[in-house]
Amino acid sequence: MPKQYISYSKTGYFSKLICDYLAQKEELNTFYHRFPNLENFKTQVKEKQLSFRPEGRNLLVQQLKKQYECCSPSEATLQNIEALQNETTFTITTGHQLNLFTGPLYFLYKIFDTINLSEQLNAAYPKHHFVPVYWMATEDHDFDEINYFNFKGKKIAWDRNSGGAVGELSMEGLQKVYELLKKEWGGSKNAKELLKLFSESYVKHNNLADATRNLANELFKDYGLVIIDGNDAELKKAFIPFAEKELTENLSFKKVTETTQKLIEAGYGEQVHPREINLFYLQKGVRERIIEKEGMFYVNDTDISFSKEEILAELQNHPERFSPNALLRPLYQEVILPNLCYIGGGGELAYWFQLKDYFEAVAIPFPLLLLRNSALLVSGQLSEKLEKLNVPISEVFQKQHELKTWYTKKLSEIEIDFSSQRKHLQQQFKDLYELAKKTDASFVGAVAAQEKKQLNGLDNLEKRLLKAQKRKLADQLDRLTAMQDELFPKGSLQERTLNFSELYLELGAELLSVLKKELEPLVNEFTVLKV
């Protein structure tokens, strides 16, 4: 089975919002700026070039160099950092939580999309330079979302107390995880490579931000990936004017609420609910919402409070203590990066669609939005088994009960579809209706009731026949559903459950090479890949 593509809408795993966006439905046009194709990047470059100032570039390069003091960037990465000082250099950005050892498999997909799109743009527009950027979500506080990864059905978890921004967490407890992984991964060459990567990232660094930067740097440094931590006092100085508007005008709440209502009226849902103030207050061990009541500003679940004058002074003196939430983080990103395009999953893009009017209100160019690649990696052995069963990979995306029904009908020597009988029956009742109309109107209701009874009887017979055939073909169905369970763990997309280590143990570094080569960012279809 070579690489093949399946329409996102046919997989059954993507929302109407995302499928309509990819189809460029007219009703969504007002919620994004430009659709991501090569031609539209030309216009995006001109727009961003006019708004992004040289002092912003100098600050960005200065802080990136400081952030990389914890690890050894490649020459390609260093060149990309230096290039950001030039007004002809722009970024392509993705973001992700600091999941333990990358978390789910799609972490790799979004990074390679970012790298591959940058390379594609460098080839298409040689007078400009495009840099792939990974924005680490170091300010998140949802430790329970990131403290584990799955390995062969087991949850490998990092057990410790947490609080505040996860990027600042120490490495307490990760030596135990390392010892567990030595047992789970074994002693093969590929296992030793993974253990070294884990140890040098997590055991030898002081906090989770530095550990994650080292991990991503080691996986992607050959491709010039630049990794940025937004939890940076100097970078946050550039965000002060926007945070001030947030505190004094509730601007994002007003604009995002208006846009969200338009989305709902257009038939789509709300991904993130805006608050009156979309900022957290950040101190060691604390990241809590800022709430205004009667002119006073309170930090939720703490004793900290400010008057209006005090909180504005705090913002000027300590911008690092103000942390944007999920709705404000995109603006912060676009303020400090010369960014053209954000690459994210369906959920991420859904909240970006709530933001366009807000971006216009603060005069910051809205980036192109690209859905990251989704992929299903199928082993050669499993691919051969599916071929022997004569099951196309596209059919395995069905819900399991639908797949079993489809395959039963495919294998059955008996016709299980009673459509022709229904059609024949309905034609007979059509004649009875005509007869009823000529005799007594009350007779029409009796005919309708009898028709319904007969059709229900056919439905029940069809279901019983299908059930009997499923029992007869149980062995073949069990083999097929076992394969589906392997490809879609717990009925979910493989990329949301599997960690890359499971595949790396078999394939080694070849896994990364294959993904780099095969993932095409602008295809906008689901990728099925034989590995």
Sign of CA dihedral 331, 336, 341, 346: negative
Q: What is the layout of strands, in order, in the sheet containing 226-229? A: 226-229, 129-136, 89-96, 339-344, 368-371
139 found inside a domain: yes
- Do 343 and 483 fall into the same domain? no
Instruction: State mean pLDDT over 79-104.
Output: 98
Share of residues in the chain with pLDDT > 90 (%): 84
- 430 with 408, same domain? yes
In this structure, the number of other CB atoms found within 10 A of the CB of residue 234 comes to 14
Residue 98 tokens read as 């600091």
Q: What pLDDT is attached to residue 452?
A: 83
- Using DSSP, how many helices (H) and how many strands (E) does the chain show? 24, 15
Q: Does residue 205 share a domain with residue 98?
A: yes
Q: How many domains does the chain have?
A: 2
How do 322-324 and 154-157 pair as beta strands? Answer: unpaired
104-139 pLDDT, tens per residue?
Answer: 999 999 999 999 999 999 999 999 999 999 999 999
Based on the fold, state whether residues 142 and 69 are members of the same structural domain. yes
Give residue 199's pLDDT: 97
The pLDDT of residue 372: 98
Residues 362 and 387 in one domain: no
Is residue 277, in this structure, part of any structural domain at all? no
Give the amino acid at 203.
V
In 10 A of CB 413, how many CB atoms? 6
> Are 414 and 337 part of one and the same domain?
no
Does residue 153 register a pLDDT over 60?
Answer: yes
How high does pLDDT run on average in the chain? 94
Question: Does residue 316 lie in a domain region?
Answer: no
Q: Is residue 268 part of a domain?
A: no
pLDDT at 512 over 80: yes
Same domain flag for 382 and 364: no
Domain co-membership, 330 together with 429: no
- What pLDDT is stored for residue 11 in this prediction? 97
181-231 confidence digits (pLDDT tens): 999 999 999 999 999 999 999 999 999 999 999 999 999 999 999 999 999
Residue 280 lies in a domain: no
Q: How confident is the model at residue 441 (pLDDT cuts 50, 70, 90)?
A: low
- CB proximity list for 220: less than 8 A, separation 6 or greater: 111, 115, 134
Q: Does any domain span residue 263?
A: no
Q: Is 520 in the same domain as 400?
A: no
466: confidence class by pLDDT, cuts 50, 70, 90: confident
Domain containing residue 420: 378-496
Residues 370 and 383 in one domain: no
Q: Which amino acid is at 250?
A: N
Structure tokens at 462: 């069809």
- Residue 279 belongs to some domain of the structure: no
pLDDT digits (tens, 9 = 90+) for 371-404: 999 999 999 999 999 999 999 999 999 999 999 9
Position 416 scores a pLDDT of: 73
Pair 395, 469 in one domain:
yes
Residue 265 lies in a domain: no
DSSP letter for each residue of 423-472: HHHHHHHHHHHHHHHHH-THHHHHHHHHHHHHHHHHHHHHHHHHHHHHHH
Cα separations in angstroms, 309 against 247, 322, 387: 11, 15, 70
More confident position, 310 or 141: 310
pLDDT surpassing 80 at residue 442: no
d(CA 214, CA 202): 9
Q: Say yes or no: 39 and 122 in one domain.
A: yes
